[in-house]
Amino acid sequence: MKEIILGAGCFWGTQAFFDKINGIVKTEVGYVNGVLDNVTYEQVCRGNTGFIEVCKIWFDETKITLEKILNKFFEIIDPTIENRQGNDIGTQYQSSIFYLEKDKKTFENSIFSVIKNIQSSYDSVIKTRVDTLKVYIKAEEYHQKYLDKNPTGYCHIDLSKANND
């Protein structure tokens, strides 16, 4: 099983989206690569911690490729916008891709190949951040599977795009 960490704006919708995709074994929402040893949602929302809201995804490589996950990710974001997705505005909402250091060589090749392939679909440069995971803090329990618990909660992501092809 492999892990990839994706930031697509609000982490609630990102988690709900990837939970619908075959080959995704587990998801969890959290905060990455900020400047504090520990952080709360309220602190992240202030936009001064350096943390980005993300969804950590564990996937079965025998059932889904990293490339397919990344292509699905790029279907639900606008990668040309910095620090915003949908109505979510702030540095904590930067579209982003993080990977474990041990996966750097193979993941970077796949990530940059997918970005290169989709760049022609955009008039502007893709600004999605790509980096190794340095710090990951699991979000509070009330954020985990939030849209399952709160089906009328806000989500800028079109969850119907998760339909498997």
Which member of 10, 45, 55, 155 is catalytic? 10
Cβ atoms 56, 30 nearer than 8 A: yes
Tokens in use for 118?
A: 């989709």
3 state SS of 159:
helix
CB 158 within 8 A of CB 14: no
The residues, any chain, with a CB within 8 Å of residue 37's CB and separated by 6 or more, are none
Q: Copy the structure tokens of residue 114.
A: 């997918």
d(CA 61, CA 150): 31
CB-CB contact of 29 with 55 (8 Å) = yes
Q: For residue 10, indicate whether it is catalytic.
A: yes
The residues annotated as belonging to the active site are 10
